Amino acid sequence: MAGTSLLMLLDDITTVLDDVAVLTKVAAKKTSGVLGDDLALNAQQVTGVSADRELPVVLAVAKGSLVNKLILTPLALAISFYSPKLITPLLMIGGLYLCFEGAEKVWHHILKKLHQKSESDNTNSLENLSILPLTPEEIVTYEKKKIQGAIKTDFILSAEIITITLGTIAEQVISTQIYVLIGVSLIMTVGVYGLVAAIVKIDDLGLHWLKSKKVSLKKTGQFLLTLAPSLMRTLSIAGTTAMFLVGGNIFIHGFPFLHHLVESFSAQVGLWPNLVIAVFEGLIGLVCGSVILLNITAFKKISSHL
């Protein structure tokens, strides 16, 4: 009798695990679109760190990402159960923050270019200062700033991943929801930061292969060394663009009429509808971020004169 009960229990556990595995795969597939944005943003956030500190910084951000998901998972479950209407507004706030961050980067770059000639002396002075070795305290402060910025950005993207996952498994029992959320969180974190670690160490791999006696490895090493700077610049642009795409996407989905309007227009265009939608999301993200940046800048200036 006891043996039969044990077999039934094991059978039930196996069934649950099978369901969790299938649902985790489905949820991971649905959140894979966010994975690209997450990768670009986080690879961008950890650039600029000294080569010997890149992996420790990536590891610190990965730990922060796990903490983010540890906070967000029970919070999302509680909100979904008690007040599901709050999920969309909270996501929109996070999306607008991403838009603001992206707009700040874009306008800072534009203003810097516009004033480059008039500020050439100051720029040269800064360049001369930048080659001076940083003190250990300054290095620690710089790394902490990088890590905190990356973790803040990850928090919003993690919230979107968890929300999409939760929407996929909303009809399942609470235990299955928890297991799937944990599975997706681990897969996404390991996947994203594993790739980020690989990207930021491409130049080191190229340098290592360049010292090899094999001609093929030497050529590959030279190619990687040439590729690394271009790849990091591309990721920097992709990361900023991803802020507008993710933020704009969240904003559009927060207003059903706007979402339907964009989809209707893209269907009428007929040519590459997904690209049309992405362009609209990016433009809306840029506009939203610029408006927020303008208001914050104006508020700061008014406050400073009071």
Domain of 49, in residue numbers? 26-113+143-305
Number of domains present in the structure of the chain? 1
**What is the per-residue pLDDT for 117?**
59
Q: Are 286 and 102 in contact (CB under 8 A)?
A: yes
Share of the chain above pLDDT 90, in %: 8
Which two structure tokens, joined as six digits, stand for 144?
């902490």
The CA distance from 218 to 207, in Å, is: 9
21 falls within a domain:
no
175 falls within a domain:
yes
2 falls within a domain:
no
219 falls within a domain:
yes
Q: Are 253 and 285 in contact (CB under 8 A)?
A: no
The CA distance from 161 to 26, in Å, is: 13
238 falls within a domain:
yes
Question: Model's pTM, two decimal places?
Answer: 0.67
The CA distance from 206 to 202, in Å, is: 6
| Full DSSP string of the chain | -HHHHHHHHHHHHHHHHHHHHHHHHHHHHHTHHHHHHHHHHHHHHTTTS-GGGHHHHHHHHHHHHHHHHHHHHHHHHHHHHH-GGGHHHHHHHHHHHHHHHHHHHHHHHHHHHHTTTTTHHHHHHHHHHHTSPPPHHHHHHHHHHHHHHHHHHHHHHHHHHHHHHHHHTTTS-HHHHHHHHHHHHHHHHHHHHHHHHHHHTHHHHHHHHHTSSSHHHHHHHHHHHHHHHHHHHHHHHHHHHHHHHHHHHHHHHHSHHHHHHHHHHHHHH-SSHHHHHHHHHHHHHHHHHHHHHHHHHHHHHHHHH-
256 falls within a domain:
yes
**What is the per-residue pLDDT for 30?**
45
* Residue 3 reports pLDDT greater than 50: no
Q: How confident is the model at residue 5 (pLDDT cuts 50, 70, 90)?
A: very low
105 falls within a domain:
yes
Mean pLDDT (whole number) for 49-78 = 84
The CA distance from 280 to 261, in Å, is: 11
Torsion of CA 188, 191, 196, 201, to 10 degrees: 160
134 falls within a domain:
no
* Residue 15 reports pLDDT greater than 60: no
**What is the per-residue pLDDT for 40?**
60
Mean pLDDT (whole number) for 101-122 = 75
